[in-house]
Amino acid sequence: MKTIADKRRAFRKLHESGCFVIPNPWDIGSARYLQSLGFKALATTSAGFAFSQGLADGQVPRNLVLRHCADMVEATELPINTDFENGYARDPAGVAENVRLCCETGVAGLSIEDSTGEKAKPIYEFDHAVARMRAARAAIDKSGHDVMLIGRAENFLVGRPDLDDTIGRLKAYADAGADCLYAPALATREQIVAVVEAVAPKPVNVLIGGPLGFTVDDMAKLGVRRISVGGAMARAAWGGFMRAARMIAQEGRFDAFADAASGADLNKLFRKEQKSS
């Protein structure tokens, strides 16, 4: 049985060379299935978990997220990186306290983004965003836990595709102590290469949440260290469920079950060994 320290060491080692995929399960079952496929690490998805709770992305309260993190850490032998959104606080002190609590759950990495969640002003001012990242770094260091900090620049994700500002923010987050940099929603090879080169030698995470035409080999050749998929797997599962449900409700047909997973296979995957009395 791997300890939390073992998982954290393995997670940091993954970021030293090569390119790996860190898929995003949304519950214990999806995490264990991904582990069975041989992935080396997993990342939570704020969107996928929110949907499972009947909430929109960004609406899950901090304490429920912390409990989810602890559950995911306990569920699998793999390191868990958590999507900690914007730290669940506006001010650096609040971010620091919440990061401290997150470290206690056993995660191997956590991301802090610069999104405000406000339509009128979706990104924190540069200096304030950097101060928040610096506070997160200090909280991790003070905790004594070897947790990696991922700095996220949300420009492209919130409709402000300014590559220069994105790179400026990522470089500042690196200087503030982020171990890995991440700008979700980059869409072209040129954008990805620009980010990778700008923050080198620190590793870069790229999000592939749709059929962009990239492969893992493509990303490796561009210098990307890790690839996540965000809420895409959860959305894919929801897609199958919604198609089947609509067919029953609207057509009275059950044809969509032809693509259903085998119950026998799922039981085999999840069956726990019974202890003899």
Q: How far apart are CA 213 and CA 204, in angstroms?
A: 19
pTM equals 0.95
| List of long-range contacts for 207-213, beta carbons under 8 Å, 24+ apart | 207/182, 208/232, 209/184, 212/187
Q: How far apart are CA 125 and CA 123, in angstroms?
A: 6
To the nearest 5 percent, what fractions of the chain are helix, strand and coil? 50, 10, 40
Beta pairing, strands 109-113 & 204-207: unpaired
Question: Would you state the pLDDT for residue 272?
Answer: 82
**Averaged pLDDT, groups of 10, the chain, 277 residues long:** 96 98 98 98 98 97 98 97 97 98 98 95 97 98 98 96 98 98 96 98 97 94 98 98 98 97 96 58
Q: How far apart are CA 149 and CA 147, in angstroms?
A: 6
Which CATH number is associated with domain 4-231?
Answer: 3.20.20.60
